Structure 1
Amino acid sequence: MRLILSFQRCEGGGGVGLWVSIVEFPLAETQAEESQSPEAAADVQSCPLPDEVISTFSIQGDATVGTSIRYSCMSGAQIIGSNENFCQDNQTWQYPHPICKKVYCLPPREVEHGYVVAVQKTEYEVGFDIHYLCKKSFLLDGPKKVTCLSNGSWSESPPHCRGRCLIPAERSRVVIGGEKRWPFDVTDAMVPHGKNVTFFCKHPRHQCNFAAIQTCFDGKLQPPACYLEPTWLQYKLFPHRLVSEIEECVPADVE
């Protein structure tokens, strides 16, 4: 705030006096007047940004001298060059402006015993999805869908189409899905990939059986080493004596 003193002489009543008045001016008004003087500061200087740069990139920061900006490409493109630049005192940029290069994914590998559900292309855009299906009797092991990522790779490796397994038993019951069944009662006598099959083995010293579990993996299912396939005569003449039909061993016997 600025104070101005005003002095006035006054006469009357047989004497002479001096009248003093104080006038206040807000500082903001004073500064405004000063700023409007011919010696006002020069305009802020900046570095030029071409239209093609503005339209290509998302830019953070401003182009004022002494400051930096950061570039980022739009989705589906990769920046080539420095992603940061500095506006120098001579109103030029420290580095050349970068460029945005379109990113693509190469076609993923084919899946044996399966299908790739997508338009056939030599390259796929970022965000493009590819779906997979398996042929009949094969089970999909892995992702049903993969997506082209911004780094030019697929979101996951392609899946596998795994084959079913033939149950390596004919004249002995096995356990599949918690149910004790004859193999010929199972469709095609086969189980899908990843399915557990429980076989029955005879205890070497006791008249009882114990379970041995095997897992189907891509068309391969081996019986456990302890399993013995009954003969045709055993199956026909003494079905109640088959290992799968005799009493289960108590835990102490198995140990």
Structure 2
Amino acid sequence: MLALFWVLDVKDFTSFNRMARIVALFLLCQILSPTTVTSKKVCGRPPVTDGIEESAIKRVYEVGETVTLTCGQGYNPSTSHATQRVTCTGTGEWTQSNLACSPKMCPIPRPLQPLAMGKTEAPFKTVLNYTCDSGYVMQGANESRCLHDGTWSSPPPMCKAVYCPLPKPPKDGRIVHEKTLTGNTVMYGQKWTYECNPPKAPSHEEGSCMADGTSTEPPVCRDVSCPIPGRIANGFITFAVMRQHSYKEKVKYACNEHYILHGEAEVKCQNSGTWSTKPVCRAPCAVGIKRGRIFYNGRKLWIADLKPNRVLHGEPVVFYCLNKTERCGYPVASICNDGTLPLPECFEEPGRMEYTLRPKTLPSEITMCAANSTSPADTTRST
């Protein structure tokens, strides 16, 4: 194996070290030599607010350049004394401008002002969209824009009512109109009734002029019958032959004693071959306390004096509760609902001894509370 050794004496090493320092210094001077370029300040786009014309503004400006700011189409300067020229300064900033531009206004058409929440004008670029109510046809443009000159691109349209041709009567039947007809058309929303020659029934009984300008198609007249009418709970049919019934025939219901009829007493055989909704007989209620005093039918009475213990459906019964803070009584009403009479949550039935020996201390017998002194939890207080 060969090796190469470079031996220097002390003198040679000192000279080499000095030379290295000179070379390093030279290189450093080359790096720091005056080759840098002095940067020149410029300005970017001048700041603009809404409405100022921007199409002619450049991205970069030299120091000393000026720009004249103007309001764009559809805008006016807010004041005639506004500073409109700005200059690029040596610091790269623009001089100040107080130019402000406000949009031109279009007068809102008078018929539309009630819909404009008190406004009488709308600013440039505002868009009005028009629609007509169902049953009306628009004549004109459905949109209008506020233009740069303060006018609208289109006038408000007109909404004209839809008319339908006269409806056709059913075969073996006729039409009964709600209003006397004039002319050969009917207006949107107008209704009529179809009738068939007895004993036939129309497949549908009503017609109308619809929003699309067409009339309801005439029904088909057909034979219809309803089954033998059924009975109702706690009630009866007042008079009827127990047979099938024809279209439009009626039967009448009534309730047993102390039951209240809820709904229409008469039911009718419909064109569908079914009866109209039968009524319901609502049950009376018993007052579910053994001791205490109530207010019922205009009288204040002890529960033992309510004979028989029965109130009818829909009738109110007043109970008496105690305001424990102020030691006064107050009335709370409950209503009989088909056999159920709920007791007020505040009501406390007195014990046998209290009821018998100290009845004058009960809430119904002591001083009644003032109107604003009832229990906070009471939400059903009766007056």
Q: Structure 2 length normalisation: TM-score?
A: 0.41
Structure 1 regions of 5+ residues with no counterpart?
A: 1-55, 61-70, 81-97
Q: Which residue of 2 aligns with 1:124?
A: 245
- In structure 2, C-alpha distance between the alignment counterparts of 1:158 and 1:229, rounded to whole Å: 40
Superposition deviation, residue 72 in structure 1? 6.7
- In structure 2, C-alpha distance between the alignment counterparts of 1:250 and 1:205, rounded to whole Å: 13
Q: Which has the higher strand share?
A: 1
How far does the alpha carbon of each residue in 1:8-39 deviate from its partner, in whole angstroms, 9 at most, with x for none? xxxxxxxxxxxxxxxxxxxxxxxxxxxxxxxx
- In structure 2, C-alpha distance between the alignment counterparts of 1:199 and 1:234, rounded to whole Å: 17
Residue 74, structure 1, aligned to residue 197, structure 2: yes
Q: Which residue of 2 aligns with 1:57?
A: 172
Amino acid at match of 2:301: R
- In structure 2, C-alpha distance between the alignment counterparts of 1:219 and 1:136, rounded to whole Å: 14
SS at match of 2:278: coil
Match of 1:199 among 319, 333, 344: 319
Structure 1 segments (4+ residues) deviating >6 Å: none
Q: Which residue of 1 aligns with 2:85?
A: none
Contact 2:201 2:247 in 1 (8 A): no
Residue 143, structure 1, aligned to residue 258, structure 2: no
Tell me: CA distance 1:190–1:78, structure 2 relative to 1, closer, same or farther (3 Å).
closer
Aligned residues: 171
Q: Which residue of 1 aligns with 2:373?
A: 253
Summarize the alignment of residues 100-111 of structure 1 with structure 2, pairs less than 5 Å apart: 100-111=221-232
Amino acid at match of 1:75: P
Residue 167, structure 1, aligned to residue 290, structure 2: no
Superposition deviation, residue 177 in structure 1? 2.4
Of the two, which has the highest radius of gyration? 2
Q: Structure 1 length normalisation: TM-score?
A: 0.60
- In structure 1, C-alpha distance between the alignment counterparts of 2:174 and 2:335, rounded to whole Å: 57
Contact 1:172 1:243 in 2 (8 A): no
Superposition deviation, residue 242 in structure 1? 1.1
Tell me: CA distance 1:107–1:228, structure 2 relative to 1, closer, same or farther (3 Å).
same
Superposition deviation, residue 204 in structure 1? 2.7
Q: Which has the higher contact order (CA 8 A, sep 6+)?
A: 1
- In structure 2, C-alpha distance between the alignment counterparts of 1:79 and 1:189, rounded to whole Å: 51
Q: Which residue of 2 aligns with 1:152?
A: 273
How far does the alpha carbon of each residue in 1:59-102 deviate from its partner, in whole angstroms, 9 at most, with x for none? 89xxxxxxxxxx9731341358xxxxxxxxxxxxxxxxx97421
- In structure 1, C-alpha distance between the alignment counterparts of 2:299 and 2:174, rounded to whole Å: 65
- In structure 1, C-alpha distance between the alignment counterparts of 2:174 and 2:369, rounded to whole Å: 75
- In structure 2, C-alpha distance between the alignment counterparts of 1:59 and 1:179, rounded to whole Å: 59
